[in-house]
Amino acid sequence: MSVSVLIKTLNEAENIAATIESVLEAIGPDDEVIIADSGSRDGTVEIAARYPVKVVQIGPGAVPSCGLGPQLGFQYSKGRYLCLMDGDMRLDPEFLGTAKAFLESHPQAAGVAGRVEEMNLDNLEFARRKSRDHQDYHAGAVDRLSGGGLYRRSAIEAAGHLSDRNLHGYEEFELAVRLRSQGFTLYRLDIPFVQHFGYRMNAYALLLRRWQSKYLRGIGEVLRAAWGKPHWFQVVREIRELKLWAAVYAGLAGLVLTMVLVPDKLLALGLCLVAIAAAIGVMSFKHRSLSLGVYAVTVWVFVAAALPLGFFAPRRDPGEWIESRVVHEPSVSPHLETEQSLP
């Protein structure tokens, strides 16, 4: 088996058919496609089962998370290379061939990705993501493969596991730290990888959803996962947002102290509002958008509140078998014509 394409899903009925079809057009006869479902209830599994792909789904005892999906697919996979995608992405037909050639010519590279094109820019979150000058998305050597990519199986096995089931976010960064601590490198090529069709809901509704799903606890969970391990200081050093969250905590403490210590409460309130407006102004200037500035500061507060919740959350062994079952096995090779009926 050459490539195992691992597609993680949770209620992706709107997108999963197009995602699978884009993958089937890109793979070869020695490749496989695995849908790793975290308990969809919207018909995602039934739609996926119409295609010549393996569909696996979590069972009782497994709690959905961003880190669980990739590991679920990995434990059923056989490919020498692992292509990690979300259920709302479209794979570029040329990516796998170029990415495999790169890994074959760069034996120290554990993984490679390409450009991730955000298609839903009506949502402030994805517009902010595209507007940010993140080094993760630059071509060349990177410290993580945000948005998925093609990984070398032998490198994943050397690092212990593909993704940590305990993580509700930052699972790609946590994997990258483990890989780089083993001496591997990661690259992003200046070629298309996927189109990403994110949530079309209001950005603030999405932020609330991410709070409820514990996604925002990711940074705290990554810190906890690395606690006591040799790469702990590497994690602390490389989570660029930690300095930001420290500043947020300091700012919140300053607001509280201002309200407590300044006798004139009206003046204290005014000083607090000026400080908040200044923070919004700085972010609005950075993003060249007032709405993005307000949203960025709101995100700061939510993540700052979620970080300690993630750090102190209980953990399970990330390498243990994920409770699951095989829902559908392909009856024909994935590169052949897709099946037209449910099993």
Q: How far apart are CA 96 and CA 150, in angstroms?
A: 8
Question: Measuring CA to CA, which residue among 61, 53, 58, 83 is closest to residue 72?
Answer: 58
Q: How far is CA 15 from the centre of its chain?
A: 17
Pick out the chain residues at pLDDT < 70: 1, 120-137, 199, 332-343
What is the per-residue pLDDT for 1?
Answer: 67
Give ∠ CA 95-97-103 in degrees, rounded to 5. Answer: 95
Which residue's entry shows tokens 């070629």? Answer: 191
Under 8 Å between Cβ of 153 and 110:
no
What is the per-residue pLDDT for 170?
Answer: 93
What is the per-residue pLDDT for 139?
Answer: 85
pLDDT in tens, 51-79: 999 999 999 989 999 999 999 999 999 99
Cβ neighbors of 319 (< 8 A, separation 6 or more) are 160, 161
List the domain boundaries for the chain: 3-201+316-324
Under 8 Å between Cβ of 86 and 199:
no
pTM for the whole structure: 0.85
What is the per-residue pLDDT for 245?
Answer: 83
CATH for 3-201+316-324 (1.10.110.30, 3.90.550.10, 3.20.140.10, 3.40.50.720): 3.90.550.10
Task: Write out the DSSP string of 209-276.
Answer: HHHHTTGGGHHHHHHHHHTTSTTHHHHHHH-THHHHHHHHHHHHHHHHHHHHH-S-HHHHHHHHHHHH
Task: Write out the DSSP string of 4-23.
Answer: EEEEEESS-TTTHHHHHHHH
- What type of residue sits at position 184? F
What is the per-residue pLDDT for 142?
Answer: 94
Question: Measuring CA to CA, which residue among 92, 326, 328, 63 is closest to residue 194?
Answer: 92
Return the beta strands (E) in 161-306 as ranges. 185-196
Which residue's entry shows tokens 């994935």? Answer: 334
